[in-house]
Structure 1
Amino acid sequence: MDKKKIKKSIGSQSSKQPYTLHLIAGATGDLLHRLASVAVTQFSDVDMHIVAHPLVDDLDKLQETLDHLEGEHPIVIHALPSSAAKRLVRHQCVARRIPHYDATGPLLDFLADCVGSLPDNDLSRLHKVDAAYQNRIEAMEFALAHDDSLGLPTLREADIVIVGVSRVSKSPTTLYLSSRGFKVANVSISPQTGFPEELSKINKRKIVAFTTQPKRLQVIRAERLQHNGVASSDYDNLQQVIREVMESEAEYRKRGYPVIDVTNRTIEQVAAEIMDKLSLSPR
């Protein structure tokens, strides 16, 4: 069985108690993984590893997954709509004394009580290819074609245009937002290239500019050059970086772009601020 494993360690001290959190989902399990990732950050005194088991969409796959729960002190959280699948997890975990939690059961029970109707437990609906799915695929293709100043002639087709100097997390943020269904382009600016004239031809309300603390940017650039075996240059010279950041911020203000400082912030936090500043609704 193909099984995608995603492991995340919270804390690295060997003295911490190790646990392995198994996330079993009938579909991609993206939401379940996000919820678990948030939850484990609140337990700094343990070493928590997350192992994801997506697309466990029949009882045979589920049994095989349960038979091969690796890691120390396993814990199971599942998002399985089938009542038979829920029973199998409960049976197996109780027999092996593995703590388990049904992430969908309480929500389905709550909604059933509210509307006075039982859930269909139809797994096929989790895999339904609909317009929203197609939009996400198109958005991700658009992002790849408009990364790092590519695709400037079709820049106006973007929902969001991210502008910034080199190494301010433009590309990762672009890919994250595109996975949410937004057509995102990012445009790199530098003292050598300036601002492409295409930026002046699109709706300014689509544009957001990134900045960061110069010292932090200098460190990131220096590490990149070192990793690539390239000698230091103006690119990672602190005084040049300070000037570059200051001049770019002045131009952002002149153009009326909303500015986001990405220093020490996660991609999710930055993406949320973009949506807020551009008054965009989640997709």
Structure 2
Amino acid sequence: MEKESKNSAVVYVLSDSIGETGQQVAKAAISQFDAGKYETRRYPYITEKEQIRDILEEAREENVVIAYTIVIDELKDFLEERASEYNMKTVDLMTPLIDAIGEVVGRKPRKEAGLIRKLDEKYFKKVEAVEFAVKYDDGKDTRGIKRADIVLVGVSRTSKTPLSMYLAHKNLKVANVPLVPEVPPPDELFEVEPKKIIGLTTNPIKLNEVRQERLKALGLGDSANYASMDRILKEIEYAENLMKRLECPIIDVSNKAVEETAGIILEILQYKNEEF
């Protein structure tokens, strides 16, 4: 079979990942030519020499340019050698830029396939976790309790929301539920495994100070029932009794930074070996 006429060409884009970057570059290059028939064909997830061999066999019948975003040296070398045997033009879209960056920063590249996809997946997982924390903050929607990786429970001003957001940036879905004596706890709390629930408590004197400052920030007097010691003691007693019923771990956050409490939570729930 004869190759197509010289006014046509096909750009084969080979990638060890999705191949979108290479295809966009190829299309941008093709757009610079006014006449002729040009197209791109994308071949993602190239991980074996056999794949390259089959693709190049197919390409022998066409006027072809091989563009690739493959970072594994063994596969790159095989591609270049086989393409040379067939007198095919090849363009390495990644190595020149990787080498230039390496020279500037003084570090060697990881040469690991699909890293951008892994980074994107991690980023979107974090965004999803943050959105989850916002949606299921402060018991606004108890349906989140069953979907959460972690459920925080405690009285008002025990750092539930800051902790939820901090843990969300660790890619964990967190729901938090305020415990108030006059409000029955949601049924969902008793329908999930106790091991994913964390109870937060605090020193009543410390909580009194925090709540008084909160009232001042809102322009309210510090004599409101919300900050009274009797009310605080009642809330803490109620919350700790409920936590015992739930059989969940309890953390005293009195003198702990959010980061410290989060570290304890991750350790309790055995997330300490996860890569965040």
Residue 174 of structure 1: aligned partner:
164
Q: Judging changes above 3 Å, is the alpha-carbon distance between structure 1 residues 125 and 201 closer, same or farther for their aligned structure 2 residues?
A: closer
Note if 1:150 corresponds to 2:140.
Answer: yes
Q: Does the aligned pair in 2 maintain the 1:82–1:121 contact within 8 Å?
A: no
Gapped runs of 5+ residues in structure 2?
1-99
Matches within 5 A, 1:162-201: 162-201=152-191
Residue 101 of structure 2: aligned partner:
82
Structure with the greater alpha carbon radius of gyration: 2
Residue 248 of structure 1: aligned partner:
239
Q: Does the aligned pair in 1 maintain the 2:168–2:174 contact within 8 Å?
A: yes
Q: Does the aligned pair in 2 maintain the 1:156–1:203 contact within 8 Å?
A: no
Residue 218 of structure 2: aligned partner:
228
Q: Judging changes above 3 Å, is the alpha-carbon distance between structure 1 residues 128 and 258 closer, same or farther for their aligned structure 2 residues?
A: closer
The 1-side partners of 2:212 and 2:147 are apart by 35
Query: Which amino acid letter does the alignment assign opposite residue 253 of structure 1?
Result: K
1:266 CA drift (Å): 1.2
1:272 CA drift (Å): 1.1
Matches within 5 A, 1:23-42: none
The 2-side partners of 1:154 and 1:227 are apart by 30
The 2-side partners of 1:185 and 1:166 are apart by 15
Match of 1:202 among 188, 192, 208: 192
The 1-side partners of 2:198 and 2:110 are apart by 43
Matches within 5 A, 1:90-101: none
Q: Judging changes above 3 Å, is the alpha-carbon distance between structure 1 residues 177 and 254 closer, same or farther for their aligned structure 2 residues?
A: same
Q: Does the aligned pair in 1 maintain the 2:144–2:175 contact within 8 Å?
A: no
Match of 1:258 among 249, 253, 258: 249
Q: Judging changes above 3 Å, is the alpha-carbon distance between structure 1 residues 120 and 246 closer, same or farther for their aligned structure 2 residues?
A: closer
Note if 1:159 corresponds to 2:149.
Answer: yes
1:151 CA drift (Å): 1.9
1:126 CA drift (Å): 7.0
Q: CA RMSD in A?
A: 2.4
Residue 15 of structure 2: aligned partner:
none
- What secondary structure sits across from 1:163 in the alignment? strand
Normalising by structure 2, we get a TM-score of 0.57
Query: Which amino acid letter does the alignment assign opposite residue 135 of structure 2?
Result: A
Residue 80 of structure 2: aligned partner:
none
The 2-side partners of 1:146 and 1:238 are apart by 29
Post-superposition, which runs of at least 4 consecutive aligned residues in structure 1 deviate over 6 A?
none
Query: Which amino acid letter does the alignment assign opposite residue 238 of structure 2?
Result: E
The 2-side partners of 1:214 and 1:135 are apart by 37
Note if 1:270 corresponds to 2:261.
Answer: yes
Give deviations 1:4-43, integer Å, cap 9, x for gaps. Answer: xxxxxxxxxxxxxxxxxxxxxxxxxxxxxxxxxxxxxxxx
The 1-side partners of 2:257 and 2:185 are apart by 26
Query: Which amino acid letter does the alignment assign opposite residue 181 of structure 1?
Result: N
1:194 CA drift (Å): 3.6
The 1-side partners of 2:121 and 2:267 are apart by 24
Gapped runs of 5+ residues in structure 1?
1-80, 87-104, 109-117
Residue 203 of structure 2: aligned partner:
213
